[in-house]
Every structure is written in structure tokens, then in C-alpha cells.
Structure 1
Amino acid sequence: AERTPDGFVFDVKAFSLLTGHPTRPALMPRGWPADARDPRILDEVWARFTAGIAPLRRAGRLGAVLFQFPPWFRPGARAETFLEQTARRTRGWPVSVEFRHPAWWRGEQAEATRALLARHRMAAVAVDMAQTLPASVPPVAPVTSPGLSVVRFHGRSAHWGTGSKEERFRHCYDEDELREWLPRLEALSGRVDALHVLFNNCCGDAAVRAAEAMTRLLGRTAKQAQGTGTGTA
């Protein structure tokens, strides 16, 4: 917070145990096992995570806490209970939620998912990824919180879910691929207080280059909109 300029905010990903991901024992406090079923362990992890982000909250620099749920986190009663518990634990925080199971945003379930997140005032995370895979999350961009909307660009590698981590995230966006999202981003920006566009194609400098290209495209769109009197993105 001290080293970054005014207005700079941080989006922090929730610790793996808090989202149901496998967690290495070496990362656990006091050498405890990574067992989310034990209330004592879960309470301790929540306490430490809360303390860890406290300096950002006090400085007004916490953009959002991202709860990215694993592919096996499917729609259903258990998942809804888990989200409700998470909402209680994070009351007062800016929270965004990314589902990796595509069923959350397909067909009739999409509206139920939107309503569920809106009820907990959690921002839905829109995802860009390859759309040719069984695990592909649809590129939908619903608004579920008036304060925030988040879009994450993961790259369009065909190795998603099968290759190494480097293979999954090795993708360099071209301007045509980024331009596809401009109408969605413009629509989102008019409906929320803040819009975060994040690049997760983190292989080499691909994410930085994509962010620079998107910044240019959005700047160009804003100037065009000002020139025609239709508002700015």
C-alpha cells in the first residue's frame, strides 16, 4: 500500500483451503493438516487470512477478494450452503466469485446463479477462455453487485485442464480477440461502480502485453464515444 500510487487497489485470491482446493500441509499454520472439515482449523485459517489482508482494507486498497472455486464445485445445495457460509465470513468485504464448472452459467441455471450471487452481494467473475473444451466456461458477463464487476482473461489454450500449468496459460492475445470483449466491458462499466479487467495468461510477459493492448483499445473506444456524444466507456 505504501509503495503504490493513490488509487491503486489489489485483488487478492482467497487461500486454497477456503475454496475447497487441495492445500499443501507445509502452508498450514502450526503444522496442522489441511482439513476444512475441522472447525478449529478452518477458523484459524480464516483468522490468519483476515489478518493478512487487514492492512489493505485499512488503507482502502483492497479491490476485491477473489473466491475461485474448483471445477468440481458444482451447482447444488452443498455449494449454496458453502457460499452462504463464505458470505457470512466475508461480510463487509468486496468479494468476487469465479466458478470453474461451466454448469453454473449454462441454460436455466445461469439465472439462478446470478440471483444467488446477487443475494450475497458477491460480484460474478466473467471468464475468457477457449470455448472448444468440455470444461469451457461460457463468456457471460452478468452483474450481481452494483459495486463491482470482474473479468478475467485466462488465455485460449487448448491444453486447459490437461497440460502443464505453463501450457494452460501460454497464450498471447491479439487485438481482435480483445476487441470481442469491448461491447461487454462497455456495458458492464455503465452498470457498476468499478470494473476490474485482469489477465491471467501469465506466461512470460503475455499478460502485461495484453493489458497494455486492452488499455489502448478502451482508450480508443472512449475517445470515439466522446466524439459522437454517446458517452464514455
Structure 2
Amino acid sequence: MDIRCGTAGWTDRTLIACKRFYPRGSSSAEARLRFYASQFPLVEVDSAYYAMPSASNAQLWSERTPEGFTFNFKAFRLFTGHQTSPDALPKDIAMALPEGITGPRKKNVYYRDMPAEIRDELWRRYREALEPLRLSGRLGAVLFQFAPWITRAPDGLALVDECRARMAGYMMAAEFRNQSWFDEAHAAWSIDFLRERGIVHVIVDAPPDVTNRVHTVWEVTHPALAMVRLHGRNTETWSATGAASASDRFDYDYDEAELTELAVPIRAIATRAGRTHVIFNNCFEDQGQRNARTLMTILRTDAIRP
């Protein structure tokens, strides 16, 4: 089985500040990425959710990692229906927005409000930024984490279909946050919806008693890739509006018993796909890195190592 473990990001400020993961002397961006890639075969570029990625960075990442290393990209938040500050857009595009979209009372913009020509240009630049990694064989999947208000209603289905069309030629993965997708009445339909479109279903582990998450459904929708994202089980911080960062929201340290329990369905799902990606999104300090190492030890020969 081909099971690859990694974390969501490698430069979180709390990870660097804790000084427990990176060895002394790893103070540059290059040194940190090279060390990370010596420890894990996979990483998720979570910064691409907050701002548009660049081809120049992707080229550097390709040069600084060994052959066989994989980058998954988290899709830009505007594409997934999230509210987006104009400051997160490229400056020339932000300046080109019509006056009706921005204004003193509008702090955020939404994908549905974007003129067609601006949508086209944002997608063109996004795909352009992925190219260096795709050409070097280091690009894995592009993860679309859709906003909690994206439901199975026609406009939600249309958004997923548009993202699929825009990402033709790339591996697309979808993580939903609205329970309408995988409740008891609709889970089978949603799995078929993803399978018919060749979209990877993201299996989530998250606090069991929150509403803005989907149910955990251990299914494969693409023969080449299965994906599991572990968000931790911190109910208190999951929906915290005052959380300063993602690391505050996903502050959770899986214990060995929990990881041993998770290893069972991960092994099972790995028999149904060519490759399985397991991403730890509990990104407070070095929790994700420690937990990923522990899971790799539990999986032993099933886990691919650098």
C-alpha cells in the first residue's frame, strides 16, 4: 500500500517558535523546506487558501525538494465560496473590481460577484502558479474546501462543477463543511456525484459534536487517490470566532490510542486507491508533525517514507 503522511503547511509561526521540529540553523525558508522534505513525503500548501500562489515560489519549492515529494495545494478561498478581502487579491485585480462590488461598507467580496473576465484571469493565474510543480511531477491534488454555506442546492452543485471544469487536467479533491452533503439521506448520492466527476472525496476527522462539518464517510471516489484530513477534535475552538489563526482553531494533540484506531480505516481505504494521502491539519506548534510521525510508526511498512 502507498500511504503518505504529511502536514498542512510547514511554516506556521507557532511551529517555528516552539523550536521543537526544525534543527538549529534551519532559519531560512529553503532550509526549513529541505528539512521538512527529509522527514515527510507529502505537504499541503495551506497558504494558497489565503492568497493566490505564485509560479516563482512553486519553482523554488520544486528545486528544494527531492524527486517523489508531493505538494497538495489548498484552493484559493474565493473559489470555494468563502468571503474574501480584496486585500487577498492581486493588486491589479483588486483595483479593477467594479465599484458595486467593493465599498466602505463591504469588507469582503464573493466569487458569485466577480465579473466573468476577472474570474477567468484569476483561474488562469492560479493554474499558471501550479505549473512548475506539475511539470516536475511534484503536484498532487488541489483541495477545494468549500464554505459551510455551500450546500447541495443547485447553486452549490454548479460551483463544484465549475471548479471541476476550471481544473480540467488536474487532480481535484473536495472537502465539504455543510452536513447536507453526507447526512444519512444524501451520503450515497454525494459519493456518486463526486465519483462521476472524478473528484477525490476528502475523508475528515473532526470534533464529532459540531454542526459545521460533514460526517466522516470512509469511501473512495477516485481510483488513483484517497485523501484523509485530520483536523483534531477540539470542539471548543472549532467554531471560535476570535481565533487568531488556524493553529488556534485546530489546537489538538492526537494520542497514540486515537491514531492506532484511525490507522485501521486508513489501511482499509488504502487498499481501494493507488495512493492515500493523510494530512494532519492540527497545526498548533509541532502537534501535526509529531502526530504524523507517530502514525507513520503505527503504519510501519505501509507508510511511504522520504
Contact 1:131 / 1:137 at 8 angstroms: preserved in 2? no
Letter in 1 for 2:177: R
Letter in 2 for 1:12: F
Contact 1:35 / 1:41 at 8 angstroms: preserved in 2? no
Note the C-alpha offset of 1:184: 1.2
Cα deviations by residue, 1:184-209 (Å, 9 ceiling, x for unpaired): 11111111111000000000000101
Match in the other structure for 2:70: 9
| CA distance 1:205–1:180, shift in 2 (3 Å) | same
The equivalences for 1:164-183 within 5 A come to 164=243, 165=245, 166-183=247-264
Which residue among 209, 231, 234 is the counterpart of 1:132?
209
Q: How many residues align?
A: 222
3-state SS in 1 of match to 2:188: helix
Contact 2:81 / 2:110 at 8 angstroms: preserved in 1? no
Note the C-alpha offset of 1:13: 0.6
Note the C-alpha offset of 1:178: 1.2
Identity among equivalent pairs (%): 36
Moved over 4 A (4+): none
Which residue among 223, 226, 233 is the counterpart of 1:149?
226
- The answer for unaligned runs of 5 or more in structure 1 is 224-233
Match in the other structure for 2:186: 109
Letter in 2 for 1:162: A
Q: Which has the higher contact order (CA 8 A, sep 6+)?
A: 2
Does structure 1 residue 185 correspond to structure 2 residue 266?
yes
Match in the other structure for 1:160: 238
Does structure 1 residue 96 correspond to structure 2 residue 173?
yes
- Rounded to whole Å, the distance in 1 between the matches of 2:78 and 2:145 is 11
Cα deviations by residue, 1:87-143 (Å, 9 ceiling, x for unpaired): 111111011100011221111210111011111100000000110222343221211
Mean Cα displacement is larger for which, 203-212 or 30-39? Answer: 30-39
Normalised TM-score (structure 2)? 0.69
Contact 2:223 / 2:274 at 8 angstroms: preserved in 1? yes
Contact 2:204 / 2:216 at 8 angstroms: preserved in 1? yes
3-state SS in 1 of match to 2:124: helix
- Rounded to whole Å, the distance in 2 between the matches of 1:154 and 1:57 is 27
3-state SS in 2 of match to 1:156: coil
Considering only aligned residues, what root-mean-square deviation do their CA atoms show, in Å? 1.6
Does structure 1 residue 218 correspond to structure 2 residue 295?
no
